A and B are shown apart, each in its own frame.
Chain A
């Protein structure tokens, strides 16, 4: 069943990838090979950045405690404390993930162009399936980034509330509850991201792009 869905999505994917492309632009088989290598690197980069996201997220409690301990210095009131840095760091990581995701798409685009313009004999038979598979899972990376940004936004709003002079004890406790609810909801997204990355790595591992020398022989 899954395979049918993937194949039927192939045409749509290729159309979408082509739509993003300068109509004059073309790609060679070598470009496609480089793109495959690039995707492999970017997926690894994505994983590394996502790990960093988890690490920084884990520090939030300690950062929160430190800011409350230094409240008289305006850590929360002026947004100059550890929590602000933590939120900012994670926003930076999200931007980095955005950028990596875009680069993966660009490489897929290059592969799409190669499929369109290069003689089919110069490319592996399964390159279309390879491209569509990566593209499908790539969409999940994008979805993860969106969901995490929403999660981060909820946390930012909470700490913004605490920066008010009017904030009281209930604001602290109610806000913690909301943040935790949103955080817990992210749990499934993390597993989906993980599955997507594992599947992309598997697709890459099972795909072989012939080198020019091999072609020459």
Chain B
């Protein structure tokens, strides 16, 4: 293998699994350490810089970081990264003065943002401080988009959402709420230098062809529409017996909301096996905790309507059969069909994009599935003035992805407005900070605690189910938050190897608790992976390979389960190993918070 180029910023970035997995590349270990140090405000700001909605995401994020967390490979469960973010948000002090301060001198450019969800709001935040005049359009009465309409208040209190939406709107954004944009042509006709479309995936899936759909229509609701109607207080009741169709997070929100609006017997029915459910495991767990029954392998056959009134649904029993290519098909088992009674049915079987308001003659090309053609790097459409982001760009994902899109779209818009090449993306900002304080002393808490993951406390069902606005998760208390934060392995503190200093004494090999380090003769990666001191079977994890050493061997480190405990560097007599904190920050249009500066100050 060739020696690893550690000057490639992505090499060490990849080692910070959580940050690498985060679409917005939030410097997770950095803010977790700040939480452990009870510096909640700074922890919040590190988040805010990256993901714009720490309070929202600390409650609702899809957490792509957690499955990636190295801790999950070392022991059973990853660090509760998401809920630690909430600890920062819950316990922070005043933050407004740390944010960009209005007014901003105008740069003479004017931007329209269609849709008031996380993608648009991110664009607004990134561009407003540069002096852009920003107009935000949304058909709802407040900003937030799907965060407001689809996430129930018992998971995300309105006050938290309002606070974080307002941090942005208060940057001098011109809002046009309760206004549904009906024509892109009209918008393009105005003097906007650029237009950003962040309208999400507003159309909920339906089962229009299922027998009884029309007859029972009065009691059959589309999940996301129903959730929005609840959020905006048009709906406050549901029947006692409820069936929710679908296995995603929307289905979970629907069933849990039903429990709070009068549902007594709420059943979620999924056509596929449990293992294929799209909902996050913790969402499923929370639903079950509230007494919701989930059935699987039961596709609906018919809405049963008697006397014009919905009686329930007839389900078929199937099983999943996989062919050689692993493709799944659902095959009837032959068991008799099952009828489940229902007063109301919520259909939560997916979302679709819909752009009825964009005329097809504006130079905005649409492709497969009626989706706009969008550059995956620049988020520019085929009309150079028009940019897409969030679910509107590539289909339904999640809030954190929308935020990531927003950052990149903002850069593109800024470059577009200044007539720069959109494909010349700014490099990430990286810093390596020395961590050594003494022989066995580092600036970070290098000791690896063995505690298993702490559980976030929940309010009792008897209280929680009475009020749809009552936040059911209580969040970590600061003390638990500290202990959970201590579980973080500090993967951003990198093991950096300097060949010229190594005397090949093996001290690092012997001390390494997880047998990451091997000195051996070089070879091809496939071969090397079989010759290391411990199995190196996780191919997604890199091997760190040194230049050749005097004994004609190389140092190979399997990054996979490195605990970043620093013992290799502590035992290295020549400082050939060093521990350096690596701060990787995605460059934004402007610096809203200097994480590196806060790092220097805090350490």
Q: Do A and B bind each other?
A: no
Chain B residues with CB under 8 Å of chain A are none
